[in-house]
Structure 1
């Protein structure tokens, strides 16, 4: 079988991935809960109805597709049963950007290596863009000492409700992640995950196009990807999507701590899922991945990766990874995208690097 299944087939990410796969001559199967919505989203593509993650897992075991693309969040809830279902026959790929889910999937490295299959996590904008810059900066270099990565997406917003999948990803926090409390941030210190304040270490970045954004620390999947790519003992991940106002940053840790209370967490998840957004164009022409890498000898390199609209790139990256897996270019085990295919993967998806190098003063 050479089928490629896209789970959550009616969603925005799934539609973008399907379009990119078709452009590569690959005709995917859209998998979801609602037959009517699948038919409308698929526009002639084959579909498969599965009413739950458990039913989807059963179908994967039964039909053994070549590649399973998981777009169903929260990935902390969906990835584990789907990863198990993929073995021993199917490759697995997801769009996770939360530290817990990325960490858990990378923890399946031995199981996938033993089965001769590949699992790829973080195949969306955030992890892939920032990790790719770190890989590019570190090529041919010794182990780094310090890294900061910043993701700066430019995202067009569709009208509609946020939905439970994304709300769950935001609210469920960091279950099972070492190094701190469930609703604390994380960074690497001394080579280990350590607690940090949410939205800490803000900086104002002047992008290569001249626009200015503020980024602040967030415990995202790119934190682990950057550490693994560089070997650095001190790593921080940050995002322009983090709260920028000083007052909000000040109260955020206390507000987040309330989510440790089950009833508060459930209420917050329901309310957030019901939030309705209006359609808005992307705020900037480009999205950017950014990294600064320092080495023990005092050398320092800075790099940017310029891509287009973040959601469109989140269609291109999974599609290119799927194509390469189908062509036998993967390796057994569990990886983030640039760890598997190097910095050239981003360029194959339309990204452009801008690099600089200088000594620390």
Structure 2
């Protein structure tokens, strides 16, 4: 039986992914630093689960090279630090999937394109709710159409929050999520202009959206992984990505860019990471029944298409995508190289993960 490893297997994402793998009759191996937590997580899952202890990213990479599992699913942030060494450890025999959703990780992995293609495995990045849902919608809207000139995508997640500390990995993902990438300041916003990553003020270009369920939300510009995914899926020279997860009031839209620039000061960034990691998260129900992705695509002749993708809990969708991608990779449906999920498997992937298109 092919081995499927989940790095960070005791975390919420790891446990949800493991459950979805079991539903597809795939036995997961939970990989983490603490043997006791691994055993406890394995006992709570609805099926046979293996465990493996790896105390660091380097230790995980060493074990991957030695044991060559069929698929490795990376849930450990910050992905800008963990993704590349794990991908390199997977070459040449192991497929790789991650939940990264930042521009830096996407652009760095795409630089490995030739190397990964020559080696032969499939690398699938940004396999969570935001990038997969918005990219899938863009692929759907652009089917059988010429290359558009402009795309805007917005993600509107809805998820139940578990009680517990935020944790080091997630805190680091938040503070390191806007590192230096081409096209602007180290911790500044990004969009695509003339086909290139270009500066854009964080939390700018607010857009109030009327959801299909009748509620209204405001999304503001933020450079997440879906920005790169949408550009590559559409080929558009002008692309903006937005999210409802950033504050959208006029005052906060003025503060966010200034606060982001402070993160460029390493001692402040380190301090913020430590404080965030210790924050105790209070449980919270889903703010709305569904999660949504929204996209507007515009062509040179002025024609436009607009659409929505409806999903349930965003965390559940994030767990389902890597499991479904794994099933398809084990079935031989992958291709050598670095890919985003919908560009590799088409818009049917989101539907098989519980999404519904409203185009």
| TM-score, scaled to structure 1 | 0.97
Q: Which has the higher mean CA deviation after the structures are superposed, 110-119 or 19-28?
A: 110-119
Measured in 2, the distance between the counterparts of 1:13 and 1:86 equals 21
What is the aligned partner in structure 2 of residue 358 from structure 1? none
Deviation at 1:176, TM superposition (A): 3.9
1:245 aligns with 2:245: no
Where in structure 2 are the equivalents of 1:80-99 lying within 5 Å? 80-99=84-103
Measured in 2, the distance between the counterparts of 1:167 and 1:55 equals 22
Contact 2:292 2:311 in 1 (8 A): yes
Measured in 1, the distance between the counterparts of 2:295 and 2:177 equals 25
SS at match of 1:260: coil
Measured in 2, the distance between the counterparts of 1:303 and 1:173 equals 28
- Give structure 1 regions of 4+ aligned residues with deviation exceeding 6 angstroms: none
Measured in 1, the distance between the counterparts of 2:111 and 2:14 equals 25
Deviation at 1:174, TM superposition (A): 2.9
Measured in 2, the distance between the counterparts of 1:13 and 1:259 equals 26
Where in structure 2 are the equivalents of 1:30-179 lying within 5 Å? 30-43=30-43, 44-179=48-183
1:3 aligns with 2:9: no
Deviation at 1:106, TM superposition (A): 2.3
Where in structure 2 are the equivalents of 1:212-231 lying within 5 Å? 212-231=216-235
Deviation at 1:175, TM superposition (A): 2.8
Any idea what the Cα deviations from partners look like across 1:314-346, whole Å, max 9, x if unmatched?
Answer: 111110000000010011111000010001110
Contact 2:170 2:277 in 1 (8 A): yes
What is the aligned partner in structure 1 of residue 270 from structure 2? 266
Deviation at 1:172, TM superposition (A): 1.4
Contact 1:106 1:121 in 2 (8 A): no
Measured in 1, the distance between the counterparts of 2:228 and 2:310 equals 21
Q: Aligned match of 2:330 in 304, 326, 329?
A: 326
What is the aligned partner in structure 1 of residue 19 from structure 2? 19
Deviation at 1:40, TM superposition (A): 0.6
| TM-score, scaled to structure 2 | 0.97
Q: Which has the higher mean CA deviation after the structures are superposed, 158-167 or 103-112?
A: 103-112
SS at match of 2:208: strand
Any idea what the Cα deviations from partners look like across 1:59-101, whole Å, max 9, x if unmatched?
Answer: 0000000000000000011111101100011000000011111
1:336 aligns with 2:340: yes
Deviation at 1:274, TM superposition (A): 1.3
Measured in 1, the distance between the counterparts of 2:116 and 2:42 equals 30
Measured in 2, the distance between the counterparts of 1:240 and 1:307 equals 16
SS at match of 2:263: helix
Measured in 2, the distance between the counterparts of 1:284 and 1:189 equals 34
Measured in 2, the distance between the counterparts of 1:91 and 1:186 equals 30
Any idea what the Cα deviations from partners look like across 1:25-65, whole Å, max 9, x if unmatched?
Answer: 00110000000100010125110001111010000000000
Give the aligned length: 355
Measured in 2, the distance between the counterparts of 1:164 and 1:155 equals 21
Q: What is the alpha-carbon root mean square deviation over aligned residues?
A: 0.9
Structure 2 runs not aligned, ≥5 long: none
Contact 2:78 2:177 in 1 (8 A): no
What is the aligned partner in structure 2 of residue 296 from structure 1? 300
Measured in 2, the distance between the counterparts of 1:109 and 1:176 equals 20
Measured in 1, the distance between the counterparts of 2:343 and 2:177 equals 25
Contact 2:180 2:187 in 1 (8 A): no
